[in-house]
Amino acid sequence: MATRPETCGYLIAPDPLRPGLSRAVEGIDQTGAAHRISVVEERPLTIYLNSREIVTAMTIGDYPEYLALGFLRNQRMLDSDDEVTGVEFDPELDVVVVRTARQTDHEAKLAKKTRTSGCALGTVFGDMMAGLDGMKLPEAELTTSELYSLAHQINRTPSLYLEAGAIHGTVLCRRDRPLVYMEDVGRHNAVDKVAGWMFSEGVPAADKTLYTTGRLTSEMVIKTALMGIPVLASRSGFTAWGVEIARQVGLTLVGRLRGHRFVCLSGAERLVFDADPDSVPEEGRAHRRKGAVA
């Protein structure tokens, strides 16, 4: 199958036509006329770590192994030196079992759960700030021309977001190249898939940027910091706690990235202003989602 020009640079790109991710639903519009649109599917996925059930997440169902690995890694239930001996997905039961060489024990984290501001039942176990004390993210540099280039490429990539809406995307990038583009009904799931891919492939984080279509909340900042990625960018806005944590750990936080406009509320010292904003075109409608607002 020929690779679409918009996705040829990706290691993993969205596949909006993949069976099972969306389906057509008929209804009526504001005039009473028949209307048919694509809507995103969602299904439960239960994650086990060895013999213990950890969580059931609502997800679109693609890359369940990466989602499980990334979730466990971001919840610090998997350490960087843990040897994963197997990741088994049962599509009939919608269950992923992650097995490790050493026996794990996480009763303390399972005893305390915090429902987060993320959609689709995002859950953080234990202290949300655990692991951030004394953290200082690696030095990095990102030019504004690279930032504009990333936004341009990502916003024009064929995706489930453009096809059906009601979904978030997270993209792992290096300089001006988008590498891995994951989508899900919750932005936390999308970033966990990226984390799972990085953990599985042994990909370093110090020279990476994470781009998300979702809000820059405390959860997104914490996950990005725990992954060791020094720059987080979004076309959406911020929460105050997200900004506070980003400043604490030295994360560069760029939001409201649309056309030639953006706002940086943390880590501006990493940005190199090498592009004239007036030379960057305004964001047009061509790449915007065809469906309803997410």
Q: Average pLDDT of the chain?
A: 87
pLDDT of residue 284: 63
Helix (H, G, I), strand (E, B) or coil at 197: helix
> Hey, what long-range contacts does 212-215 have (CB within 8 A, 24 or more apart)?
212/168, 212/169, 212/170, 212/171, 212/187, 212/236, 213/161, 213/168, 213/169, 213/170, 213/187, 214/118, 214/168, 214/170, 214/187, 214/190, 215/117, 215/187, 215/239, 215/242
pLDDT of 70 reads: 96
Under CATH, what is the fold of the domain 43-125? Answer: Ubiquitin-like (UB roll) (3.10.20)
Domain with CATH 3.10.20.10 in the chain: 43-125
- Pairing mode, strands 95-100 and 43-49: parallel
Give mean pLDDT, residues 34-57. 93
pTM over cut 0.95: no
Residue range 142-279 in CATH 3.40.50.300: no
- CATH 3.40.140.10 residue window(s) in the chain: 142-279
List pLDDT tens digits, range 124-177: 544 556 678 888 899 889 999 999 999 999 999 999 888 887 889 999 999 999
Q: What is the pLDDT of residue 283?
A: 76
* Residue 203 banded pLDDT, cuts 50, 70, 90: very high
Is the predicted pLDDT of residue 293 greater than 90, yes or no?
Answer: no
